[in-house]
Each structure stands twice: as structure tokens, then as C-alpha cells.
Structure 1
Amino acid sequence: MNNPEILKLYGGKTTESVISEAKVMLETVVRLYYARHNFEFYDPWMAFALTVLGNMIIADLAKTSSTDPQIASGYRSSLILAAQGLNKQGLNYHLSRLLAVQLQGAMDPMDLQLVQTHAAVAGIEEDEKALILEQSYSLWPLPGVTGINEDPDKARLKNLVAGVDSLEL
């Protein structure tokens, strides 16, 4: 990880600091997009960005549960934004609705309760399930759910679709 050639390429920054800066930049772009356009109109890029951002924040909250409350509050603010965005994108696009269900299913119960005070509960109606199952069957792994050294099968969209009945929010 700390290869001297890579460190030289990134101006002496460590891999962790480069990843941290990338997270901040992604969150900034998402917030600017929200301020300028809102999330109500279909944008496939936003579903991807919100999923990555939401899953990164869930992982960061799991690591920083006992640290500074201001940092955790900032993470939760971004988590609410990601959940709201996926819910609104889900009104136009079935994949976004599945991603919203996945994101809320991956949250800590306390964080989920907080998110649900600001965003609607992500769910799929009975009459929509067949349509969503048909149109969303995919081998695409969800971004940010698995690491590069992990088996992507557990994060493939087709497995999420098959397990949507087991999620209780």
C-alpha cells in the first residue's frame, strides 16, 4: 500500500488521505447537485453516487461510533441526504428504489430511525415486485458494499432482488 512510486505520484500523500479526500469531493459534488437540481428528476449518475456515498458513510459510522459527536453528526447528515436522494430517484427508476432498500437495510437501527424522520421508508409495494424483479435482474455488484478482495456475489443486484422480501424496515 505504501509503495514509494505511488506516494510520489500523489505528492507524498498516503493512500488513506487520498481516499479521504475523494470521499469529501464526492460528498461535495452530491451536495452541490442537490442544491442546484434537487433529486426529483431521474439521473442515473446520482443513483450510483448516492449508493457509494451512503455505503461509505455507513462503514465510517461503524468505525467511528465512539468518536467525536460532531463528526458522527456530519456523517449522519450525509447519510440522510443519500437516503433522501435514493428515495426520490426511486420514484423514477426501479433500480434506485432497490438501492434505497439496500441502503436502509444496511444501516444501524439508530441511524435508520434518524433517517426515517427525514426520509420516507424505502420499500416495494406488492404489485410492483414482479415488475421490479423483471427489470432489475442484474449481475451488477452494488458499489461500496464489498471490498476489492471480497467476493462480489453477496453484493450482486440479483441477490438483493431475491432477498428483498427478507428485509424488514
Structure 2
Amino acid sequence: MAEARGTEIGPELVLELADAEATRAWGRRLAAVLRAGDLVVLSGPLGAGKTTLAQGIGAGLGVRGQVASPTFIIARVHPSLTDGPALVHVDAYRLGSLEELDALDLDASLDESVTLVEWGEGLAEVLSEDRLEVVLERPHGAGAGEAPLDGAGVRHVTVRAVGPRWAGVRLPA
């Protein structure tokens, strides 16, 4: 596994997405700038739209299979149906250490796939000095503890491009 190194952090992109369909649509646009070797680290609370965004990225990459939360499987590979890279979709929620992440052997496929790690903040950054860090948040209703799990509701998205791979890359707004 790669060890964490100092990296450049580019400017942040802040978006407001109206609902689940807008989140999927932005994921499809984001997929257009992704290439083999890219790491996308998704974070945010339950129901914020991490898997919804992953579905849009999968659709944009043209991968096989339904992109669903891999919570109990931990990692799922979606091969490309086109000439593009596969999508390796990881859910790090149940991982408790770097050793457990390392046991998934993600670095073996990192160079030829787009690797997307949900709940990866504070854990997956060691996989690559070049990555997109995407934080999704949804406002809570009055008195509600978590955002609703349905598709309704605005998502606030903050994207940080980290490392030289992203220098000069225009992310979709």
C-alpha cells in the first residue's frame, strides 16, 4: 500500500444539487473527466447521496451491473461495457483500520480502474497522492436526526482536487 505523502490541494468546487436525479446527472458529467488510475473518496452522513453519486459515475463510465451500496460486500468491481476503465466501488464503513483496507488489495487494480471509496475519509487517502475528495451533505429537517433516505432534498457537494493529476482539469460545475 502507498504511504501518505504531502500533496497539493487545489481550489474547492462547491455545488448545490437539487435532488437525487441531479446528483446522478452530475456524477455522469464527472465521469467524463475520470480516467484509469483515478481515486474518488466520498464522505458524508447516511443518506447524503454517496451511492447516488456513485450510480451517476457508473452510468457515465458505461460500466456493467447496477451500482448499489457495497456495504456488506465491501468492494464490487463493475467492468466497463465500453473501452473505458472499470469502476471499483468500495464501502469503507465497516473497515476499522488501514490494515483492513490494505487487505482488499485495491492497489492491484488502482492503475487500471476508477476507484471510488464511500466512507473513505481519513482512510483511503493513502491509496494515492492524486484524488478527488467529495463531501456530500443534506440539510436536516426540523427535529430530524438524519437526512431522509429517499431521493428528495438538496445535496451540498464540496469537491477538493488533490495532487498534480488534477492540475488544469476542469471539473463539471
Class of the TM-score when normalised by the shorter of the 2 chains: under 0.3
Higher relative contact order (CA 8 A, sep 6+): 2
Higher percent of residues as strand: 2
Higher percent of residues as helix: 1
